[in-house]
Amino acid sequence: MSLEDLKKELEEIVEPSSVHTRDYDRNGCLLEIRAERSRLLSIAQAARDAGFFLEFITAVDFTEGPIAVYQFNECNAVSRIQVKVQLARGESLPSIGRVYDAALWYEREVFDLFGIRFDNHPDLRRLLLPEDADFHPLLKEYGKVHAFRSAREIYVDQDA
């Protein structure tokens, strides 16, 4: 299934206004979806049915709370899509591990480094850090960082 078909399908799952077309030369991806956390599983399922694979899951820490970033891609042509979910601090995400097996480790990594919990994850242990670690290193409050900003400051020109 092509990116256009998936886009139409996604516009039924989320509000059409939260599906943004991106410039490949400027962002490296073609489609960006600002989603609610409750829609995540349906989006992942649609991507899986369309033959996309999960490229990675990560998060970026902001003052208003972390943004989780999911990236899907397809093998035949450049059709990279990013799904961004703004979370409040301490909020959890639904696990998409039963749609994509690859997500199981990525979710463990995000839990490990950012402390974001994933509901219904079968085995949410730390992945990279030792089991008895009591910190989440990629949060901006930890260690030496240059800046701790609000998401609106960084994605200023992208919300149009």
- Positions touching other proteins (CB under 8 A) are 25-29, 51, 53-56, 58, 60-61, 69, 71, 75-78, 80, 82, 100-102, 104-106, 113, 126-130, 137-138, 142-147, 149, 153-158
Read off φ and ψ for residue 124, nearest 5 degrees.
-85, 80
CB of 27 to other proteins, least distance (A): 6
Q: How far is CA 44 from CA 10, 20, 38, 121, in A?
A: 10, 17, 11, 15
- SS3 of 59, please? strand
CB of 43 to other proteins, least distance (A): 16
Question: Smaller CB distance to other proteins: residue 12 or 23?
Answer: 23
Radius of gyration of the chain (CA): 16
CB of 111 to other proteins, least distance (A): 13
Question: Smaller CB distance to other proteins: residue 12 or 112?
Answer: 112
Q: How far is CA 8 from CA 90, 132, 143, in A?
A: 32, 45, 43
CB of 37 to other proteins, least distance (A): 20
CB of 142 to other proteins, least distance (A): 8
Residues 95, 40 contacting (CB under 8 angstroms): no
Question: Smaller CB distance to other proteins: residue 12 or 133?
Answer: 133
Question: Smaller CB distance to other proteins: residue 12 or 157?
Answer: 157
Question: Smaller CB distance to other proteins: residue 38 or 76?
Answer: 76
Q: How far is CA 141 from CA 15, 76, 144, 145, in A?
A: 33, 41, 8, 8
User: Phi-psi region for residue 97, left (φ > 0), alpha (ψ -120 to 50) or beta?
Assistant: alpha
